[in-house]
Amino acid sequence: MKTAAVNKNVRSRRSLSRNDRFTLSAFVGIPTLLQVVFLWGPTLITIALSFTYWNGINVGDIKWAGLANYKNIFFGSPVFYDALKNNVVWLLWFTFIATPLGILLAYQFDRKIKGHQIYETIFYMPVVLSLAIIGIIWNFMLQPGGFVQGVMGRDIGNALSIWGNYSINSYVIMAIASWRHIGYIMLLYLAGLKAFDSSLREASAIDGATEWQTFRKIIFPTMRPVNVIILVITIIDSLRAFDLVYIIYGTSTAWPLLNILAFQNFAGQGISMKGAAYSVIALVLCVVPILVYLRIVFKEDLE
């Protein structure tokens, strides 16, 4: 059986005319070239540059630095540990609060509770907004004279500094990030639940299980592949976090993240390859989750 299939493949490959071979090479070659030149190539070059000193202008000025950039980051830049801490806070918040909330919403909507269609639309709405708009919307809410300050009874004169206060801004940033993330996870999980066999659920209802028991003991364990994918997506998103904080603080390091520090060293005052080292650290942290993701989604092909 297997040899027959192999033979067939060999035959079909041999039967390709020269024209067809050319078409196939073009089909594969053009997109691959684009990926190599603008994506993989630059990423590899950034990795190489992280071991050098360079001002980003003339290639001739590149000087070998060995591990100096990394040493500088690990031993001479306390801000690196602040960024790492913020990335970890982001990761933990998303993993243990935002993502489970999204899953819980998806579960309730899948049961078609009253108003689920309107709710779904509302919860997903922030996901389709540009971060540039999200920045403006939340500024309205939080700025002096804005809604939140008004509710707290603070007028423009004695407004609370929200962006400048470390114990407050972490919560605010997590809240805004969750405002997008929860809807996204909700939608992904809902699609997974659609494929779930509803007879299992009915059976457990007849057995007298409560909805919570049904979810915990039957649905959640059966959804394992989807759960893992969603967890991995959450981790990768947390490690790549950048846009939202960039919209709020620009390249300042008021609330640093690994990618913010990388960008600050690239585009702030004076280009330095310390930025390359920062982005390599962020990249390395992403490698394992990306590999896990690939392993899951291409499971059949890999076997």
Closer of 168 and 271 to other proteins (Cβ): 271
174 versus 226: smaller Cβ distance to other proteins? 226
Q: Please pick, from the candidates 1, 2, 4, 12, the single residue that binds other proteins as defined by CB under 8 A.
A: 12
* Contacts with other proteins, 132-171, as mask; x by CB under 8 A: xx-xxxxxxx-x-xxx--x----x----------------
Place of tokens 């310390």: 274
**Which one of residues 84, 187, 231, 292 is an interface residue with other proteins (CB under 8 A)?**
187
The footprint of other proteins on residues 190-229 (CB under 8 A) is 191-192, 205-206, 208, 211, 225-226, 229
- Closest by Cα among 287, 281, 280, 292 to 45: 280
| Least distance in angstroms from the C-beta of 128 to other proteins | 5
The residues pairing with 52 across neighbouring beta strands, listed in sequence order, are: 64
263 interacts with other proteins by CB under 8 A: yes
Question: Residue 55 belongs to what H/E stretch?
Answer: none
**Residue 229: HSE in the Cβ half-sphere, 13 Å Cα cutoff:** 15
CB 163 within 8 Å of CB 249: yes
Residues 99, 230: contact at Cβ < 8 Å? yes
Q: Are 173 and 244 in contact (CB under 8 A)?
A: yes
Nearer to other proteins, 166 or 179 (CB): 179
Q: Which x/- pattern over 100-139 shows residues binding other proteins (rule: CB under 8 A)?
A: -----x--x--x-xxx--xx-xxxxxx-xxxxxx-xxxxx
Name the residue nearer to other proteins (CB basis): 74 or 140. Answer: 140
Binding residues for other proteins, total number by CB under 8 A: 105
Three-state secondary-structure class, residue 106: helix
Stretch that binds other proteins, among 69-77, 79-87, 165-173, 275-283 (CB under 8 A): 275-283
- How far is the C-alpha of 226 from the C-alpha of 275, rounded, in Å? 35
- Binding part of the chain for other proteins, among 39-47, 81-89, 91-99, 163-171 by CB under 8 A, reads 39-47
Question: Which one of 69-77, 89-97, 158-166, 242-250 is the stretch in contact with other proteins (CB under 8 A)?
Answer: 242-250
Helices marked H in 17-115 — which ranges? 18-35, 41-49, 68-76, 78-93, 99-110
Of the two residues 31 and 76, which places its CB atom closer to other proteins in the complex? 31
Q: Which of residues 58-87 bind other proteins (CB under 8 A)?
A: none
Helix (H, G, I), strand (E, B) or coil at 109: helix
- Compute the CA torsion angle 171, 175, 181, 187 (nearest 10 deg): 140
